[in-house]
Chain A
Amino acid sequence: ESEADAHDEL
Chain B
Amino acid sequence: MNIFRILGDISHLISILILIHAVSTTKSAQGISLKTQAAYVVVFVSRYLDLFFRYVSLYNTLMKLFFIVSSIYVVFLLNRYKKNSEKTNDIFPVWYLFGGAFVFALIFNYEFSIVEILWSFSLWLESVAIIPQLVVLQRTGEAQLLTTHYIFALGLYRALYIPNWIYRYYTEGRMDKIAVISGILQTIVYSDFFYIYYKKVVKNLKFKLP
Contact = CB atoms under 8 A, between A and B. Distances in A.
Bound together? yes
Interface of A: 2-10
Interface of B: 5, 9, 12, 50, 54, 56-57, 60, 63-64, 67, 110-111, 113, 116, 119, 161, 164, 174, 176-177, 179
Contacts of A2: 110-111
> Helix, strand, loop or mixed for chain B's interface?
helix
Contacts, number: 31
Contact of B110 (A3, A9, A10): A3
Nearest to B5: A9
B63 A10 contact: yes
Given A2-B111, A3-B110, A10 B179 contact: no
B48 to A, nearest CB: 8
B176 A6 contact: yes
Instruction: Name the 3 nearest CB pairs between A and B, nearest first.
Output: A4-B110, A3-B110, A4-B111
